[in-house]
Each structure stands twice: as C-alpha cells, then as structure tokens.
Amino acid sequence: MSVKQKGSKAERELLHMFWGKNWACLRSAGSGSMKYPGPDLIASNKARVLAVECKSTKKNKQYLDNHDVHQLKEFCEIFGAEPWFAVRFARKDWLFLGIEDIEKTENGYVIDSKVAERRGLLIDELIK
C-alpha cells in the first residue's frame, strides 16, 4: 500500500468516526496538492465547524512542515473553522491537537506521541 493510500485510508476512517457521532463530515481528496488551502476533513454539527489535517504514523513523532500548518490556519481564517490536527500513533486511538499544542521546530513542527497523549483530545472529548 502506498503512502497516499495509507493516508486516504486514515482520512476515511476518521470520516466514518465523525458520521458515527452524528457529525456531518466531508473528505477533500488531494487536499495537500491543490493550489488553494484545504484540510483533509471538514466536520460540523451546526454549532461548530472543524477543519482537520490527518496524520497516521508508526513512529513516535509526526513531523509537519510549515506549509501544512500555514495552509490550515489560512483556510480556517477564511472559512470560519476551528483548526485541528488528528494524529494516530501505532496501535493507539486518534488524538486531536490544536495548533497551540504542537511544537515548533527549526524546520517546521513536530507532534511527539508523549505530548499528544498529555495534550490531545479523544474524538468524544473534541465533539462535546
């Protein structure tokens, strides 16, 4: 399975999780390859709109480049959505982190699994 296929599978898994919680959710295929900013998922329950970038890794750290973070911020400012990063580390539950919860590095950003476990929200906590 290619990296793109794995990413698409992770996005679809989250999409089904949102629908299972009675949140409408839309997946934007190829979101990272468009000219315009766009998140992997947009989810809403009428009261809130979430823009979600999805990452799944077998490693203990997930690196993000500045471009990904900037595009999510830009989209959310225009669209009026809350920016979230959803990350799943090997054999763990999905965790949701705001931009303020990810660590800035010299070359971009990093989400450490230990930090994500402390600061991240499970989907049920996110959608309260």
Give dist(CA 115, CA 38) in Å, integer.
26
Length of the chain: 128
Q: Which amino acid is at 124?
A: D
Spatial contact of 95 and 53, defined as CB atoms under 8 Å apart: no
- Report how far residue 128's alpha carbon sits from residue 1's, in angstroms, rounded to the nearest whole number: 35
Distance, in Å, from the CA atom of 97 to the CA atom of 117, rounded to the nearest integer, reads 10
Q: Is 2 a catalytic residue?
A: no
Identify whether the C-beta of residue 126 lies closer than 8 Å to the C-beta of residue 94.
no
Which residue among 8, 28, 31, 44 is the active-site one?
31
Catalytic residues: 31
